[in-house]
Amino acid sequence: MKTLELFKKEPLFIDKFKSFKTYRSKVTENDAESFVSALLYGPCMTTLPQAKREEYLEDYKKNILEKLTLPVFFELESGSIALEKIYNLLVMNHLSLKKLIRSPEFIGQHVLYEINLHYLESVVEIINEDHIESILAENFLQYSISKSDGEQIQHELSNCYVETILDVFHETITSLMENAQIPKVDQTKHETFLKKLAKTLYGFFNYVTHETLEDLKKIILQDEIIDIHEFFHLYSELSDYNVFIIDADTMALVMDIDFEQYFDPNKKTSIFLHVAEGVFQPIFVEYSLPTSIVDDYQLFGQETGTSFKTIKAIFDQKHDEFSKEDQPIDDNSDRIETYTELKKAYDRLKEFNQVQELSHYENGIDYEFLSEKKRLTQKLYFFSSSHPLVSFLQNK
């Protein structure tokens, strides 16, 4: 992998903004990790060597996944992500149910999830394996979720699954008994069997749900490419940022994601480009600042970007020294000139700080300064809800 400095930046949105320039940049050779790399691209990454950068990304993903509990998983995209992923694993497990029941891995799980292997195996015997995918596609995958709470969504979907399998099981076994293909069973015994089967099916659904979530976590940790919608909902829900994804072809926000619905004005926004399937690049801006800002910091004996709190403390101390009664400022023209220069520098830095505070920017996290021969550039990686680029994309 190249160091971050070796990837060439390319300009975007030329002539759209006067106060800053917008750029994109490739940041990794590994497409599968480009989403998280683009999301976090900033001083916390650019200042790290490769090994530390990879460790930083790994730790961040682990931190995100610690927040990905079952209720949160069911709330992603109002439950539709969980619904589709659970459906896929349900179909796969049903198509290989006999093999699954006898596998060493499942033997330890059936006790934990209160799954009766005898009742589960009866599903294989009664419901035609060739029909299971269409049955679940029609009755489970098409289910319309009405709840918003994760636990309630999980309850809804588990009921839907259990009722779907029970209905087909009941209809099939009733038909078999009526056609004398199997011995008739007393109605009471039949209903008792269905109740016990229902308990097993609830346990099986919970098992599949758990496995689905664990599979997703493994995919994310192993940097496998997932659907752009899953990327968006996972990280916009669990990260500290709003996620804005720009389509590289249209140069507008990706069409089929409702960014406004999930936009939190109190969060900073990470903006990046969707270049190709599973490939993303970060977007950042650069401000050319007055060269005097560098001198202003130096006048206070501080490095560029020092907190305004420190600058204010120094100025207050200097002001007190200049204002002593036995040494009035207006008695000495040199002292007046020195104080005036210091006060002007203080006012410029105060104004500069107000811009930063207004936008909730923090040096070393959201932006960094690039200084060369008193030419000062502020490189901004994350954006407040009031930043012009955010407003531009929301209205584009």
**Tens-digit pLDDT profile for residues 334-358:** 777 888 889 999 988 888 887 777 6
Residue 225 confidence class, pLDDT cut points 50, 70, 90? confident
Nearest to 149 by CA among 85, 68, 73: 73
Q: Could you tell me which residues are beta bridge partners of residue 367?
A: 363, 380
On the question of pLDDT at 42 being above 60, the answer is yes
The pLDDT of residue 1 is 45
Predicted local confidence at residue 353, as pLDDT:
82
CB atoms within 10 A of CB 187: 8
- Pair of tokens at residue 107: 């033997």
pLDDT one-digit tens code per residue, 86-109: 999 999 999 999 999 999 888 888
CB atoms within 10 A of CB 278: 16
The string of DSSP codes covering 227-293 is: -HHHHHHHHHHHSSEEEEEEETTTSSB-TTS-TGGG--TTSEEEEEEEEETTEEEEEEEEEEE-THH
Tens-place pLDDT, residues 104-146: 888 888 889 999 999 999 999 999 888 999 999 999 999 999 9
Q: Could you tell me the residue ranges of all domains in the chain? A: 4-67+223-287, 71-220, 292-373
Task: Band the pLDDT of 5: cuts 50, 70, 90.
Answer: low
Instruction: Give the residue carrying structure tokens 């589960």.
Output: 120
Name 111's bridge partners: none
Q: What is the assigned CATH class of domain 4-67+223-287?
A: alpha beta
User: For the range 77-80, what are the long-range contacts, defined as Cβ-Cβ under 8 Å and sequence gap of 24 or more?
Assistant: 77/229, 77/233, 78/145, 78/148, 79/145, 79/147, 79/153, 79/156, 79/157, 80/145
Distance CA 301, CA 298 (A): 5
At 267, give phi and psi (nearest 5°). Answer: -95, 150
The arithmetic mean of pLDDT across residues 45-56, rounded, is 86
Pairing mode, strands 268-276 and 241-247: parallel
Beta strands in the chain (DSSP E): 9-12, 21-25, 241-247, 268-276, 279-289, 367-372, 375-380
Q: Please tell me the least confidently modeled range out of 65-74, 112-121, 262-271, 340-349.
A: 340-349
Residue 94's pLDDT is 95
Crossing angle for the helix pair 50-67 and 187-221, to the nearest 10 degrees = 160
Report pLDDT for 333: 66
Q: Choose between 140 and 1: higher pLDDT.
A: 140
**What pLDDT was estimated at residue 168?**
95
Asked if pLDDT for residue 374 goes beyond 70, the answer is: no
Task: Check residues 112 and 371 and name the one with the higher pLDDT.
Answer: 112
Span 143-186, pLDDT tens digits: 999 988 999 999 999 999 999 999 999 999 988 888 878 888 88
Q: Is 103 helix (H, G, I), strand (E, B) or coil?
A: coil
Q: Is the pLDDT of residue 52 over 80?
A: yes
